Amino acid sequence: MTKLKEYLPQFNNQNILVLGDMIADEFISGQPERISREAPVLILEHQNHEILPGGGTNAANNVSSLGGQVYVAGVIGDDRVGRQLTQQLENEGIETDGLIIDHSRPTAVKTRILAGGEETVKQQVVRVDKLETHPISAEIENKLLNYIEEIIDEIDAILLSDYGNGVFTDSLKDKVVELGQKEDKLITVDSRYSLKSFEGITIATPNREEAEEAVGFELEEAQQIEKAGQELKADLDAEAMLITLGGEGMQIFTDEGSTHIPPSNYAEVYDVTGAGDTVIGTLTLSLASGASMVEAMKLSNYAAGIVVRKLGVATTNQAEMLKEMEEGDQDG
């Protein structure tokens, strides 16, 4: 345990590039008043409206809240939401010069309507997604690559956050991974739909569903999980593969074999939204700070155990992690 704690202060010294799909999470909340006469739906009295970092920007926000210096690269639209999202990131000290305005698409936004009273937990009523998933143009791709080449000497790791919104063309993937390998950078991947297209990386962090989709069979038994992890590691030519298993914890696969750990305080889960971004962010910082693969998994597990006890898209910090580790029962 003592050794794990020693990595936390090292997070402050790490420079991480987060490249991927930038998504704004929009929350509109209101007080239920009555049922509408126009349709069988609630009428809400507007209470609050906010734009928060989601998708790749949530991964960036997690790295930043844990002490890392973050550079983001991706696309936004020339619109209000894009400007608000950029401002939110800059307020957190995140470098946003790599956000390229793509006039062919709006900023990706997921709008959640929440209903509830002042003293009650608000419930999500509906979610509306405004997403364009067509591949970025060659011009936008070149702008992103030029930015990455400009800052590559300043960063310690590249975090690729793929939500399937068109940033990761085959060409961009190949060139970024090739550049990362050439410059001896850690390359971590969180891919929602195209995991097996990221070859030559350091490590990826699929959840059970993503791993099942990638390998083509269900992960219900320990033997199936073991097979999937080793198969994905080999197919991606990765140094390691980490599969998150929800209430069953996490399992990492390396050249030395596999290691499984139980979840941290899973009995107190309130909301798993964005937990994958916390895992990949913490894992990347941990590896950049010199942690082994298994140590990085344990640190990520602690961080995930904190954010799932918070409502909505959440982050954690070093102080919360230190407290979680001191109260936890994992053997560090």
Catalytic positions are: 277
- Distance from CA of residue 260 to its chain's centroid? 21
| Residues in Cβ contact with 201 at an 8 Å cutoff, skipping those fewer than 6 apart | 160, 177, 187, 188, 189, 236, 237, 238, 239
- C-alpha–C-alpha distance, residues 131 and 216, integer Å: 27
Q: At what angle do helices 222-235 and 208-215 cross, to 10 degrees?
A: 70
Count of other CB atoms within 10 angstroms of residue 43: 14
- C-alpha–C-alpha distance, residues 240 and 283, integer Å: 12
- Distance from CA of residue 68 to its chain's centroid? 14
| Residues in Cβ contact with 27 at an 8 Å cutoff, skipping those fewer than 6 apart | 48, 49, 50, 52, 111, 112, 114, 312
Q: Quick one: DSSP state of residue 329?
A: -
Q: Which of 253, 189, 188, 256 is nearest to 222 (CA)?
A: 253
Q: Are 143 and 100 spatial neighbours (Cβ–Cβ below 8 Å)?
A: yes
Q: Which residues on neighbouring strands pair with residue 23, listed in sequence order?
A: 54, 108
Query: Structure tokens of 311?
Result: 């409502």
Q: Are 250 and 261 spatial neighbours (Cβ–Cβ below 8 Å)?
A: yes
Q: Are 67 and 94 spatial neighbours (Cβ–Cβ below 8 Å)?
A: no
- C-alpha–C-alpha distance, residues 64 and 281, integer Å: 9
* Residue written as token pair 């107190």: 268
